[in-house]
């Protein structure tokens, strides 16, 4: 198992990608976040 410190750059990059996906939404508003995700569902 790798120490967390070695994984931090990967974790921070992944967190940044997720947060940028919600950049136009109030991240504290769950309904707005869910709407963004619903718009991404296929079909």
- Give the chain's domain count: 1
Whether 23 is covered by a domain: the verdict is yes
Whether 6 is covered by a domain: the verdict is no
pTM for the full model? 0.66
Domain that holds residue 19: 11-40
Predicted local confidence at residue 41, as pLDDT: 76
Alpha carbons 12 and 2: distance in angstroms, whole number: 16
Q: What is the pLDDT of residues 7-39, one digit of tens each?
A: 999 999 999 999 998 999 999 999 999 999 998
């Amino acid at each position: 198992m790798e120490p967390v410190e070695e994984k931090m750059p990967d974790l921070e990059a992944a967190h940044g990608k997720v947060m940028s996906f919600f950049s136009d939404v109030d991240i504290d508003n769950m309904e707005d976040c869910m709407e963004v995700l619903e718009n991404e569902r296929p079909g």
